[in-house]
Structure 1
Amino acid sequence: MVSKRIMAFYAFVDLWLLAAGLLSLIMSIVWRTPNLMLSFTISNSDLTAGLVLGIMLLVTFLISIFAVAQRGHVTAGLVFLNWTLIADAIAIGVIGSFIWFYSLHQRNNYYVVFKAQSESTRQAIQDKFSCCGYFMPNDTTAIGGFCANQTFVDSLFNATATDTHACVGPITGFTDFTLNNIFTTIYGYMAIVIALFLASLCVIHQRNETERFKKIDAKRGGKGFV
């Protein structure tokens, strides 16, 4: 019989797995709603990856319930669960590492994103942060709003500090905070997956051990001592 402590730990980690899956699923849906800076920072492909990861974790949670609910001597479900957890770990590692690596080159990466935005979106970002252009005030500037005209934009340019009054600082300040929280959270899922994997191994070991003792006792003609 599996000890109560192991089963309690299994249940505790399993609930965290459920929470991780729901968090990924919900945030991937909620963040698709129009939001100036979140839409700028996170691409649709990123949100799709988060949605897929959330679904994977929730499916794993359902498998874990089915696996542990099987009869005491059956471990096939738990073995299948462990293979599912390995797949989850790979997905977590790939998605988390992609976001982390992307965050290492934010200034250049988001310059490309900024240039690709419409005039109205760039103007909204400039108005939000009271800045003009990306690397320099007179670079990729959307005229209008805070950056009312070219004369005003040119007056902001400082040859000794070209990024003064430019948007690169406030933009990457927001994106850095957002991306760091995202990939840190995703990497945190790895601890949950590993913990459940180890808990599953413990359950498998104790079930196999219990079954082995039952077979030994049966050969001796006893009524069972485990």
Structure 2
Amino acid sequence: MVSKKLMGFWAFFDICLLAGGVISIVFSFIYRKTDILLNLTISKADLTAALVLGVMLCFTFLFSIGAVVQKNHITIGLVILNYILIVDAIAVLSVGTFIWFFSLRQRNEFHVLYLELPQSSRQFIQDKFSCCGYFNGSDAVEPSNFCTPSQIAFTNSLDPTDVNNAANFCVGKVTAFTDYTLNQMFSSCYGFMPIILGLLLFSLCVINKRKEDERFKKIDAKRGGKGFV
């Protein structure tokens, strides 16, 4: 018989898998709110990926319940579960790696996105961070409460290659926000991997133990129903 301790570990990782799926789905809806910096950092494709991952993990949890309640000699459900977990792991690893790789090039990546923002959004960012222009004083600068004509003229006169002038341009302050957010995203995504791999490992243990129990039952039956001495 499969030990209660083994099944306890299996159940713990299974519940964690459900929690991860729910968190991913909730994240995909909460972060659809209107927020200029958040919308700049997290695209609709990212939110869709989070929703898909969440649904996959929740489906895996539901399938696992059906697989584990089968009789001992029926292990095909758990075998299929392991294949599903491998697919989940590949999906999580792919999404997490994509976000991580994007975060390595965010200064240039977000420059393109920054240029696509409407004028009002760039004005909001300039006023929030007290900066003018993205890479330099003339790069996508907009007149705003902070960026007055005199401030724009001053910022435009600064050397963008001088690190002492970096605080006057928006690139550093924008990417400081996006870097934190992206790090949280791919770290959370990679955080699903130990759960998936843990459940995979304990599912293999449960399969092995059930097969072992069934083998001993057959041996016992051949001995006339008597146990081993």
| TM-score category (smaller protein) | over 0.9
Q: 3-state SS of the aligned residue for 1:80?
A: helix
In structure 1, the gaps of 5 or more residues are none
Q: Which residue of 2 aligns with 1:51?
A: 51
Q: Is the 8 A contact 1:92 1:190 kept in 2?
A: yes
Q: CA deviation at 1:142?
A: 1.8
State the alpha-carbon separation in 2 of the partners of residues 61 and 146 from structure 1: 52
Q: TM-score, normalised by structure 1?
A: 0.95
Deviations 1:161-196 (A, max 9, x none): 353411011111011111011101111101100000
Q: Which residue of 2 aligns with 1:24?
A: 24
Amino acid at match of 1:19: A
Deviations 1:44-102 (A, max 9, x none): 00110011000000000111111111112210110110010000000011000000000
Backbone CA RMSD of aligned residues: 1.3
Q: Which residue of 1 aligns with 2:122?
A: 122
Q: CA deviation at 1:223?
A: 5.2
Alignment map for 1:107-118 (pairs within 5 Å): 107-118=107-118
Q: Which residue of 1 aligns with 2:3?
A: 3
Q: Which residue of 2 aligns with 1:154?
A: 153
Q: TM-score, normalised by structure 2?
A: 0.94
Q: Is the 8 A contact 2:167 2:173 kept in 1?
A: no
Q: Which residue of 1 aligns with 2:42?
A: 42
Q: Is the 8 A contact 2:96 2:189 kept in 1?
A: yes
Pick from 185, 190, 202: which aligns with 1:187? 190
Q: Is the 8 A contact 2:92 2:190 kept in 1?
A: yes
Identity %, equivalent residues: 53
Alignment map for 1:1-226 (pairs within 5 Å): 1-149=1-149, 151-157=150-156, 158-159=158-159, 161=162, 163-222=166-225
In the alignment of these two chains, the number of paired residues is 224
State the alpha-carbon separation in 2 of the partners of residues 59 and 146 from structure 1: 50
Q: Is the 8 A contact 1:137 1:163 kept in 2?
A: no
Deviations 1:119-177 (A, max 9, x none): 1111111111111111112211122232133x321112312635341101111101111
Amino acid at match of 1:176: D
Amino acid at match of 2:132: C
Q: 3-state SS of the aligned residue for 1:163?
A: helix
